[in-house]
A and B are shown apart, each in its own frame.
Chain A
Amino acid sequence: MRQSATEVANRLLAGETAAGARAIRWLDDRDPRGAQVLAEIYPHTGRAQAVGVTGPPGAGKSTLTDMLVAEWRRLGRRVAVIAVDPSSPFTGGAILGDRVRMGRHALDPGVFIRSLGTRGQAGGLSRSTQDAALVFDAMGFDIVIVETVGVGQDEIDVVNLAHTTVIVAVPGLGDEIQAVKAGLMEAGEVFVVNKADRDGFDATWRQMDLMLHLRAQALPDLRWDVPLLRAAAAKGEGAEEIVSAIEAHRLFLEREGEFVRRHGARARDQVLILVRDALAAIAFDLAEEAVLQQVEARTLDPYRAAEQIVSTLTNGVVTA
């Protein structure tokens, strides 16, 4: 049974789960029908608030996400979750286990959970995360939570995608500075120390508090006062405060005209990435085996080889 892109687009705009799921699959698989669906639904996007949830492995991101979903449902919001887990760079295989912590929402029609493998993308997200977020936006979800893979330092692509990014830290990951490293510390609009019932909570809290003060001093123009919150997600503690902070951040963005601007910036970013990828694919196809062999044989250096290939590409475009 071969479904048409228009049919899937219309059904997902009407809110049909199976159609939304199929559109995301096509986009994730680079099936050409994915781009066709996106073309039809794109005018209906730009409303949902994208919320990133990121932090080191074992910080309790999935459990926290589960708790936030429950809180937003209590407030009557429809919530989609994009849960990203790493794909093996060797086999392409992946274990996507984030749903395990979100079982209680399985039968709630106001919640849609989709697991994605990174499929070779660095930065903590999958290649199609932005596309999936657009599908959920078009389906009318109020909140789209993007839960990243467990991140280390600079894997903060989610910051560019989300309106609001929640950074989750936990006590007991060893050296306190390691708990949340520089890149993460500079990103994010809401900070949470999870597993607050654990030993070492006070030390982690003080460390985070200090680093946020330093960040505020370094960025005096930033008018958003970054909140530091505590949670024990496994016990359901802290949800109200975190959701209030995220909602407050949305109001702040709207007041500053930033909400629309971030949607716009996201759209621009995506176009640039698509152009870059398409041009790179063409250039790789153009790259003559002979040139590459010269580099391997050390008779040509990589920079000059790249220059040659790029100039071939530019000429090709001009004469085409």
Chain B
Amino acid sequence: MATEYKRPLRVLLAKLGMDTHTVGITIIGHALREAGMEVIFTGLKQTPEMVCAAAIQEDVDVVGISTLSAGHTRSLPKLARLLREAGADDKLLVAGGVIPEEDKALLEQAGVHRIFTMGSDTRDIVAYLESWWETRRAEEAA
């Protein structure tokens, strides 16, 4: 038998709204690439509609949103809803950046699977995604 091909995890990274702080998302992107993942950048000033369309066209496993200038309590739940309506809620939705503690419950309830706040270690993010990926692959194989 030919050796089994382990496909890379595909991750879409995007910023929503009028937020042009790119340092964090760039570092995360490179950390994920170093961990063997395929990272797709959409560019800045995206709407939830644009991110949802890109996630479907690229058929990614994970959608990661970086947010550093507020607006996340509206845009993230909207993105979660759009993905759900498009039948794409099998994708993992994660967010990171400046997200106050008191917003977390609301976002998680709206369908954001995991929130990484300022100061998160990129290794923890990689580990989280890899462990989710292992579980997902086991489910797919079952």
Contacts and interface: CB of A to CB of B under 8 A. Distances in A.
B98 interface: no
Kindly state the interface size class of chain B when it binds its partner.
35 or more
Interface string A6-46: 00000000000110011011001111000000000000000
Interface string B37-60: 111111101100110011011110
Majority secondary structure of chain A interface residues (helix, strand, loop or mixed): mixed
A14 B49 CA distance: 22
Nearest to B26: A95
B40 A24 contact: no
Kindly state the interface size class of chain A when it binds its partner.
35 or more
A95 B50 contact: no
A93 B32 contact: yes
A28 B59 CA distance: 11
A92 B36 contact: yes
B90 interface: yes
20 contacts: A17-B57, A18-B56, A18-B88, A21-B57, A24-B59, A88-B33, A91-B33, A93-B33, A93-B36, A94-B38, A95-B41, A99-B54, A100-B41, A103-B42, A107-B49, A112-B57, A113-B54, A114-B58, A281-B2, A285-B1
Closest 9 CB pairs of A and B: A93-B33, A100-B43, A21-B59, A29-B7, A106-B50, A281-B2, A91-B36, A25-B59, A96-B40
A87 B33 CA distance: 9
Contacts, number: 96
Contacts of B140: 2
A99 B39 contact: no
Nearest to A119: B8
A84 to B, nearest CB: 12
B5 A29 contact: yes
Majority secondary structure of chain B interface residues (helix, strand, loop or mixed): mixed
Given A91-B33, A106-B50, A96 B41 contact: yes
B64 interface: no
B8 A93 contact: yes
A117 interface: yes
A106 B54 contact: yes
B43 A96 contact: no
B84 interface: no
